[in-house]
Structure 1
Amino acid sequence: MMTKAQPVVLSIDDDQFVRESLANFLEDFGFVVLQARDGEEGLEVFAANRPDMVLVDLRMPRMDGLQVLARVREIAPETPIMVVSGAGDIRDVVEALRRGAWDYLIKPIQDMNILLHSVQSCLDRARLLRQNREYQQSLEESLDKLHRTQKEMIHSAKMAALGDLVAGVAHEVNTPIGVCVTASSFLAERTRQLRDLYEKGEMKRSDLEKYLTLAEESSASVLTNLERAAELVQSFKKVAADQSSEEKRSFELKSYLEQILVSLRPQFKRTPHTVHVDCPEGLTLDSYPGAIMQIVTNLIMNSLIHGFADGLPGEIFIKVEPVGEAVALSYRDTGVGMDKEQRDRIYDPFYTTKRGSGGTGLGMNIVYNLVTQTLKGTILLETSPGQGAVFLLTLPRDPEQAAGATVPDDA
């Protein structure tokens, strides 16, 4: 196999003088040129070395250029093939292009710079197509990972609130994806225009230079936005991992609350509601961030769906204060509040006032179980009709130490 440090071009022509002339010229510009005397030998050289591009004559013994063209297209359809032939019949040109030739030059070539530009243009086009395929594959893989993560976490009833997080991430990812689609479509259109100019014999050097500049800019734009989409997917995976994982770790509470609000931002974009967070800097917990994520998410979604059902602008206030080896988290909304029945049954599984609107009745039951069982804390509710709702949570900084402290001493 040849090294791919330099572009490798395979020249297939039964005329030795033509082969050597093309090889000598292209080698002066840094190309590695392989040679073959006919179609069959050319296919053998192609299979052994997989060059970046093929130059092929039409009229050759044993196997003509059209047969070579068809075979190479079967083996490696992404490899650019240029026909360089003395057969000047327009029907040959049309047939070669119809079968997949990227370009067609008629021998003898009066200006070898035309050959150089054509070769470079074909290689640049092949590179752009390859990069676009890689970008598309990367995007599809990222989206596939996102969808798999969604399915895994929605599998459990306590992950029902994750659907809102997924929708938010999909909304955020949509912007860089849209930019990629626009840039790729624009580049495809300019490629078609350049090809039309070339086929009409109206292409100028400035047209090619403008196209190459545009191609570089479009590729850079696609790459930048795909990287942005990948960053968003990675961010989602981190939050999702916390929400689905039961791992205990140390984390700074204020920044984590802010991350939760960012993930829920799409839920607020088209509403008049606002959220205020008051939490001391540097307050750390050695606890379960996934549980905190689910608790805050369910409380906020409960306010959006039930508390602000009257459509009036609402406010949510989250205040955190250190209390010894615990933290006191106060969650208050200015919504419609609850009557006695709703207050008494709010933590019951499957109790909901929105059964016909997609409510499962599990959100607040999950909150209660996470607070009391996973985090070893307490939760109290203060509410009345028209007065909003206040949830008062007391959460140990380290649930395991809190659980150990409640074990009686047998001594």
Structure 2
Amino acid sequence: MTDKLLEPTVSAQLDSHALLEQGRAMCLGGHSDQLQTLIPRLSQLQLNPEQALLLEVLMLYPGASTKVRTHTQLLQRAMHLHELAQALSSNLARAWIWEAMQLIQINLQLHSAALHSTAMAAEMFELCGRAQDAISLRVSRCLVMIHCEMYREVLEMSGSLLEHREQLDPIALVNLLRSTASAYYFLGNDTEGTKARSAWINSLQLHKECLQVAQQAHIDKFILISHTNIAILCASLGLREETTAHLLHVEGMQRQADHINNSWSYWIRYCEALLMCQGAEFEKGWQSLLAMAEELEKLDIRTAPVQDTVLKKIVSLGKKWEHFEIALKASERQIELNRQRRHLLSKTLGDAIDDVMAVPSLQQKNQELSQQGYALEASLARRNLELNQALAKLQTEAEIRSQAEQALQRAHTNLEEKVRQRTQELEQAMSLVMRQEKQLALSRLVVGVAHEMNTPLGNATIAASTMQFLSQNLLNDLSGPSLSRSKLQHTLHSLLEGNALLNRSLQTASELVQRFRALAVEQHQEELQTYDISYRCQLLIDEWKSRFKQGAVELHSQIPAGIQQTGYPNALFQVLDQLIDNAMRHGLQTTQQPQLEFRLHQSADDIHITLSDNGLGIAEDNLQRIFEPFFSKQLGLDGIGLGLSVAHSVITDLMHGKIQVENRPTQGLQVSLIIPKIIQARTQTSYT
């Protein structure tokens, strides 16, 4: 009965262990996405002490943890977990720890330390009876030995491992074949002639075998790497057709290539350059190698392998083709590249050592902090008593402050009441000022109308009285005994002159009335229409050209074609005509070399028209009054001062736009109009 109750527990333990092993396999295979779904599931299981330790070790593998930690922190954590594994006597946990440390050390480029960790992991797996894992670790040790440039040692170890290839899984077999092929390739690079060619042929055969295994196992990553390596070796051996075939495979797998190795494109270019160097296009290939060397020199140290290969080939070909200076520079660059790699390794090692050395200091500081914590507790007890006393004092001060705040609130209320009263008084005063301003403007308008109407009406009165006097005399002469022909003609001529004067006076008065009516936009009868404002502006300018020529005015116009507006074209161009007339009559009349500039442009919602001259300008004191009716510095001499007032009414009231007049910084006047592209229809208003 007891055994049956234990069966589910044992089964659960086996399932947990299987999931842990599955997580380790995902880490080694680079399946981080699947791993992130497995980790939460493992965290919810009931694990025994060894399995809990294995889960902690699993978080050291690359891609297992989302928490950001430095490689040095991971190594320190690994050493701490190794102590726990020794306490639990768990060789499996120790094997996992050494394996994780090997991966971290490879990332830190601590390849010598990684060799030791790999050997220890393989030894621990053998103690656990897991021969296949031990062999896989020895395979990965071959890969680390390549980085340590232990090429002959790799060939010796790989030879013995390949005798037991049936015990290797596809990934381990591919890695073993790759490391062996790499050893042959680098040994060939260190020699020349027949020895180099023989080494490259051996490397080529191994890479082809590697490609076959990767294709059978459907491992895309190693398929791409194998195609690239075969292309490089075929190019080195001058096998043009095979190189091209494998390059085509690589080209079809570009996305995977970018994900695996950022320098893959340079390896492809290197293959193409090698083929050209061995054929009729050797000069083009040589230049391609030189260009690659310059590009790679600007990149970071991660492209060091391809840089080193390109530089070696430049040195070799430079000696062969007597480009000794270029070969010398390439050798110097190769030396500098190796120095940078050593410097980076030294820095990484130094940082790791500094972090390790800092651990005892941190432990001592932790002890000091603990002692300080006890002292702080005693100090806090004393401070609590002092704070209670201070709290009572603060409560008393709070009551005093509350009373002060109440007094301030009452003062604030009284102040608000006074401000409200003053605001009402100010509003009444402003209303009075506005009424006075309106009355003053009305008075100015009445005076201006009376002044302007007085002359034509006075002339009409004089003419009418004179005509009445002459008519009465004519009647008297007709009633008399005689009327001479000459006197009759003189009287009739005088009557005709009086009639002409009367007509002119009445016509002048009628024109003045029409101009007064123009001040009220309600009298404007033009209908809204959509028109080409660019064409109308150009037409207006053309009409003025003869007068510009007579006045020797130099015109500068900027009128883009095709600008449309919905508005009142006749009213607008009466305004523009008035503005140009003002400039010609008042601004440019006495100016040397007069100039006039007309500009039209549009924004998203508005149309902008600017008229500028280099004339006399307007006194600053008068700029504020130029839109008032009957305001003119030449009143009685030329004009009645209604032009700008009418323009202002049309632009602002009728077209809902803006008009601005200002003196230019240099000389002259500038008038700016801003009107909407689409003017809304006016609301009809009737007045009684």
Does TM-score exceed 0.5, indicating one fold?
Answer: no
More strand as a share of residues? 1
Q: Kindly indicate whether structure 1 or structure 2 has the higher relative contact order, using CA contacts under 8 Å at least 6 residues apart.
A: 1
Structure in which a larger fraction of residues adopt helix:
2
Which protein is bigger by CA-based radius of gyration? 2
